[in-house]
Structure formats: C-alpha cells, structure tokens
Copies of this chain bind each other. A is one copy, B any other.
C-alpha cells in the first residue's frame, strides 16, 4: 500500500494558507498514485492559537474549509486533523462544543463516525501539562461518555475504509496524546485494538520539538507498532506556533513504523510530503541520535528561520558585547538572516575592556556583518545629572547612587535607548541575548538587556551556550569565528569596576554549579524548592542530583552549610521574586529543551521565600 504522508508546514490560525498546502499535497498524492493520504493534527486551523478558538467566525471558516478538503478527495481517502463542531451542544465554558478531531474524506465527502453520529473522530486524551491547553477549548470523548452514560469503549471504533483497489482497511485512528497514554486511566489504541485487529494504526500529531523528544517518540511508536503487530503511520507538521510568551517549533519526524523500525519521510524540520510503500520501504532511520549540541544547533537555526518567515522579518540589529551570549546570538542571526542583514552594535562605556570590545569587532568581521560602535557614557552622565537635579528638588535619593542603580541605567541605555532606537530607524528588530541561567534568577535589567523581539537563547543554560559556541567554531565553521577571547573571558556584565574582566571579575554566578541547581528548580518534573535542595544537602543526596562536575564546583564554593544555604536562599528569592516580575515583561522565549519559561512554566509573580 502506498501511503502519502503529508508533513506540511502548519500556520497558526491561518486556515486559508493551510488549505493551500493541503490542496497542493492532495494533488501531489494523486500524481504519486497514493492509496491513502494522511495530514497532521490540526493541519487546517493550526494548534496553538490561543483564544482564537472563541471566535464563531473562525470556526465557521474552518468548517467551510473542512468541506473544501472533503471536496478535494476522490477514491483515495484523505485523513486530516481539524476542529470538529457539534452545534447542538455546549462546551463547559458555555461556548459551542468543539473537538480536536480527525476527519476522513473520500469521494468528495466527510465520512460519518457511526459510534458518535458525527462526521469526525475526536481526540480522547487531552494534554494539560507544559504548554498544552487542550481541555480549555475542546470537549473530549471521556466527557462525552460520562454525559451519555455509556462506557468509553462504546464511543471508540475502528475506521472502515475501502481503498481505490477495492481493498478494505480497518484503521485505529488517534490523535497525538492518544498514543502517550501511560499516565491516563484510559488507553485509546488498546481499546481500539481490543474490538478487532486493525490493519493500520494512524496517529495525527501536532507535537512540538524539544531536545531529545525524538528518541522518546520513536521508542513509543516503535513499541506500539510491535505490540499491536501493525504498521503505524505517524504524521506531524512543521513550522512555528506560539503560546504567547513561548515559541514552539515543529520538527515533523513523520513516517512509518513497522515491527519497531522507523521509516522517516523527510529530514527533521523540513516540510515535505512523500509516499511510503509499505511493501517497498525506504531505508530505516539510524538508531543512534545526533549528540545533544548538534541537535540543538539544528533546532535553533530551523526554529529561527521559521520565525523569521512567519513574522516577516528582514533585518536584525544585534548588540554585541564581546561576551559569549551575544556572540552566539550574532552567529545564529547571521546564519539565518544572512550576514548582510545583521548589524552588530557595540555600546561601550568606561567599564568595557579593550579585550571584549575588540572581540566584538572581530566577531562581526569574521561573520561578515557590518559593525558600529555607539558609546553610552554621554547619555548615562546626562541621566545621572537629571536624577541629581531631581534630588536637589527635595526628593530623597541616596548619594552616591547605589552601584546597582547605576548599572541598570547603563543597561537600559543600551537596550531601550540605543538598540531599540537604531533597530527602529533601520526597520529592524533586535534580539534579547539572555540565556536560561540569567533568566531564571532575573540577572538582567528590564527594558535593558532583557528587551528584544525574541529571546532565542533563553531556554539554554550558560553551559549549553558555551557548547554551542564551540560546536560552531569546531564543527560548523572549522575556524574560530567566535573569537577565542570571547570563549575564554570571564562571563561579566561589565557594568562597574567590580565586574572588570581584566582583573578576572565577573558574574556572581558560578555557572557549572548554579546551572545544575537551577535545573532542579525549573526543569525537574517534580520540581525542587529551596527547602528540598537544602534537605538534599543535609541528607547527602545533592551531589547525585547535580552531578559530579557541579558537585566539584560546589565543594570549592562553600566550606559550610551556612555558606551554601545563604547562596541558595539568595538565588531562590531571585528566582521566585524579582525574577518572576522580569520574566512577565521579558520577550517571547524560543522553547528548545524542557520547561521553557513562559506558558510552559506558569508562575505567579512575587512569591519569594522571604516574603
């Protein structure tokens, strides 16, 4: 059987644009004499579209396009994901009842689902963790079973198809989470297979990329194909969609699973539609995954390139300090936007060393990007003088101003005055170069270095930023495009004499140690807290939690429990106090690993331990 797997690029809330991709794919499938065509989950409306689901006119448009897709179908069945409406019923929010559904079209019309008396097959399991918000918008089969007073089993049935050749096919049709049912009390594919042995398992997904998910996903569907002794068609889209503060990328990874092996249709992140002949399979996928840094590098560039296109961006101004984060950001933007569209701006003050300034200039030269120096001292002095004037008008202001106040004035001068001004004058955007470590504890200035159109690196720990920098120099470029000084210099904001890199002074964070601690708080599925981290120190389990390298640094940093606890409390309060306020106003984060800040890490602002 030739199955056409349509790994389409899906645009959020753009049924018109998505219909065009679907139309082209159906035409291509016809040319390739495919016997079955399968599209991803929510291939028509897009998936992460926020409360656009609450617009009746949008739903109406989707319903019309669902019919137009049906009209495209001939004898070859077309399976696609879209929103299904039951106009006679309400959702629990009082709005019209919507389902995240799979549609099956053949001979110009949508097939009916006899178990439900509806023209679609709804998703059974609704993910409600991380960035997923399905049960906000969609009714699910379990609620329907409860409402109708019947067991769930009665509502789940195989799809019976007759192909062009006359062959009949029983499909176990599910959507994304339906296959990831380990933690649920219901297992849709098992229920489906219990009634009758399916000839084919189909899973429509809209499953965002995160580092390492490939491995898990391939294992899961490989296992499913082996356990049910049945081929599995897995179809996921590509592109970028966002949940406001967090931007996700879809890597595709579609293909056929048979007897535990995986036959992909396209490289990751590439929108491609292709037939797979179950009797003449292409080469199976390698089982050894790429290393984490190489994977992240591909993901970063693919994601940024989707975003650039999606938001119709042309030019970027990157503030380059000579430090590691802005260097990786400049390289990344130069790779995706082209060096001719990236303008590097260095904004020196009296506190910036010749070392980092020349590293910044060298980086721009190595990349082939234009470069300018825009000094900030004059403006900063003016601001300080104006604050002095306010003081002389009788306002209680400490004299001299605390260093932190002066540091923040410099950072805002760079971000909100210079970068925003220059970028706006050029019709360009400017990125926020913050990494995940500083984002965690708010080691950044609002409207300063935490400003920008996107924080592409804010889901990567400082240690990962270094790894990617080295990957660029050694693997991608084969030469030190990122100057060695940038990699060697102590990480520093260079905002005061206390942060003088030429004296080896820099950030108050020891990244190899603090990154590991912050991971416990942010990324562990069962998150650690100040209390549980301290408890782990006390009971001796902390070393194992943070790993050998971090533990070595920990031993060098602290000679007593008191020292350890004081440092821990400082950063815990920064994370759950000021850090939350800064994250509320931070730019959208590109999600790459797990628990990216934003919608994937819901937080109430201002809950430090000390309050």
Contacts and interface: CB of A to CB of B under 8 A. Distances in A.
Interface of A: 12-14, 48-52, 54-58, 61, 90-96, 125, 128-129, 133, 135-136, 142-143, 145-147, 149, 151-152, 182-186, 241-245, 310-312, 343, 345, 370, 372, 374, 378-379, 382-383, 386-387, 389-391, 393-398, 401, 405, 408-409, 412-413, 415-418, 420-422, 424-426, 446-448, 451, 453, 525-529, 531-532, 535, 580-581, 584-588, 601-607, 611
A417 B413 contact: yes
A20 B48 CA distance: 42
A604 B243 contact: yes
A371 B244 CA distance: 38
Given A55-B526, A607-B13, A92 B416 contact: no
B602 A243 contact: yes
A412 B408 contact: no
Given A245-B584, A412-B417, A585-B587, A370 B343 contact: no
A527 B51 contact: yes
A263 to B, nearest CB: 30
Contact of A12 (B54, B374, B604): B604
A35 B394 CA distance: 58
Contact of A584 (B129, B186, B408, B587): B587
Contacts of A93: 128-129, 183
Contacts of A420: 408, 412, 446-447
Given A142-B143, A420-B447, A611-B312, A601 B51 contact: yes
A575 B585 CA distance: 18
6 contacts: A12-B604, A51-B603, A90-B183, A142-B143, A413-B417, A588-B605
Contact of A409 (B136, B394, B421): B421
Contact of A244 (B14, B136, B584): B584
A421 to B, nearest CB: 5
B129 A343 contact: no
Contact of A91 (B91, B135, B183): B183
A343 B397 CA distance: 12
A531 B57 contact: yes
Contacts of A244: 580, 584, 602-605
A261 B240 CA distance: 54
A559 B244 CA distance: 37
B417 A405 contact: no
Contacts of A243: 602, 604
B604 A57 contact: no
**Could you say which of A14, A61, A390 has the most chain B C-beta atoms within 10 Å of its C-beta?**
A390
Contact of A401 (B91, B241, B425): B425
Contact of A526 (B56, B133, B185, B312): B56
A382 B528 CA distance: 48
A420 B451 CA distance: 14
A344 to B, nearest CB: 11
**Could you say which of A142, A448, A605 has the most chain B C-beta atoms within 10 Å of its C-beta?**
A605
Contacts of A54: 525-527
Contact of A311 (B396, B527, B606): B606
A413 to B, nearest CB: 7
Contacts of A379: 379, 382-383, 417
A370 B389 contact: no
